[in-house]
Amino acid sequence: MRDFTVGSVWGIPIRINVSLVVFLPILAWIIGSGTQIDVYAGIVNTFSPTQFDAATLTAGSTPWVIGAGAAVGLFASVGVHELGHAWAARRYGIGTQSITLWLLGGIAALDEMPREWNREFWIAIAGPITSVLTGVACYVVLLAVPASAPVVGFVFGWLVVTNVLLAVFNLLPAFPMDGGRVLRALLARSRPYESATAAAARFGTGFAVLFAVVGVLNSAPMLILLALFIYGAASTESRTVMLQGLLTGLTLRDVARLDAESIDADESVSAFTDRMIRDRRTVYPVVDAGETVGVVTLDAVRRTDAADHDTTRVREIMVDDLPRVPIESDAFEAFVELSAHPSGYAFVADGGAVVGLVSPEDFAHVLQFRRDGVEVGPREAF
């Protein structure tokens, strides 16, 4: 879904996802209707020097003003929470690409997630600490608001409670929420980072199931959406960390096929099909005048009419817009770049010349070897 950049802090773009634009009026309506104002008025009155009368707060259009102010204040607080993460990351020399506010809260996209336990601990816990400090700041404002402005005072009192709840909720060990990252950091003190991630991810999926059950039993769609997000994010990050661990210490030279036999771009698809059957291979680099210009696969043949195989040239069905990745690139970074390309393939370049081809299958083989404890070394020359 589309994001809108609304400003920047410390050079970090602050973005609002379209899901939040749609959800904010709904949240304002939820806060301003029903019994929420009555309930929160009772809570705020326990610590506020000014006592708020629920009847005054729910008269006329006042609830909708409160709802709008509280909804905007909530997501402003979420933005400040994410800035807390960004500030802590900056202390360790880690940049933040952007902060995005969306339906389920906020996401600070760091340039990298540190593997050192103490760095991750402080970056993760900085968000909840910032939320508590934001709640304290809202309380100071509440003390300064005159009794003649009950709506303003109540909204800031509501934000005191909400920021404290935000801090507590984020500290639940539901990886990849803040508490889950704190848990991983603590586990990583005494075990490998990959093992700590797997354990934290199991906690995350457990909480996702719990949230889903509670959401279904209480007809709470937001809790169900949160459960789906946590489950998906925990599983994805766990797999990513596992892959990164298995590829640690390897470069693209160790993964890529540098000895693959090629096929001429002017060969017919029919001849290419015979070649695949003979060699029992389904992927070939394509060369033209001695230069590697693309890749052709069995899938490309399947998309070609069988009646045209004799007249169609390989160059007509090959993929030629592949990215070029330097041969000494970190294997994991190359894997990420490869995953982002629609074809799944990339040229391997050495000094500007194409010397090989790398595919998801190459990474799959290397990963299997590493799982089995087999050392992986460079392939032969192309």
- Residues tagged in the binding site annotation for Zn(2+): 81, 85, 178
Q: For domain 252-371, give the CATH superfamily.
A: CBS-domain (3.10.580.10)
For the cut 60, the answer to whether the pLDDT of residue 380 exceeds it is no
| Least confident span in 105-114, 128-137, 194-203, 219-228 | 219-228
- pLDDT of the residue at 376: 65
Local confidence band at 152 (pLDDT 50, 70, 90 cut-offs): very high
- pLDDT of the residue at 21: 83
- Backbone φ and ψ for 182, nearest 5 degrees, come out as -60, -45
Catalytic residues: 82
Q: What is the pLDDT of residues 315-326, one digit of tens each?
A: 888 888 888 888
- pLDDT of the residue at 135: 95
d(CA 108, CA 83): 8
- pLDDT of the residue at 141: 95
Q: What is the pLDDT of residues 161-204, one digit of tens each?
A: 999 999 999 999 988 899 999 999 999 999 888 889 999 999 89
For the cut 90, the answer to whether the pLDDT of residue 260 exceeds it is no
For the cut 60, the answer to whether the pLDDT of residue 379 exceeds it is no
For the cut 70, the answer to whether the pLDDT of residue 144 exceeds it is yes
Across the range 255-266, mean pLDDT stands at: 81
For the cut 60, the answer to whether the pLDDT of residue 42 exceeds it is yes
For the cut 50, the answer to whether the pLDDT of residue 381 exceeds it is no
Across the range 61-68, mean pLDDT stands at: 91
Across the range 276-296, mean pLDDT stands at: 84
Two structure tokens written together for 313:
């040239």
Across the range 86-91, mean pLDDT stands at: 95
Domain boundaries defined on the chain:
3-247, 252-371
Comparing CA positions, the residue from 104, 103, 105, 40 lying closest to residue 66 is 40
For the cut 90, the answer to whether the pLDDT of residue 85 exceeds it is yes
For the cut 80, the answer to whether the pLDDT of residue 372 exceeds it is no
- pLDDT of the residue at 377: 58
For the cut 80, the answer to whether the pLDDT of residue 382 exceeds it is no
Across the range 24-43, mean pLDDT stands at: 85
Q: What is the pTM of this model?
A: 0.76
d(CA 2, CA 164): 30
For residue 93, what are the CA distances in angstroms to 10, 58, 364?
Answer: 14, 49, 33
Angle between helices 221-247 and 331-339 (to 10 degrees): 140
- Backbone φ and ψ for 283, nearest 5 degrees, come out as -135, 130
- The mean pLDDT of the chain is 87
For the cut 60, the answer to whether the pLDDT of residue 300 exceeds it is yes
- pLDDT of the residue at 91: 93
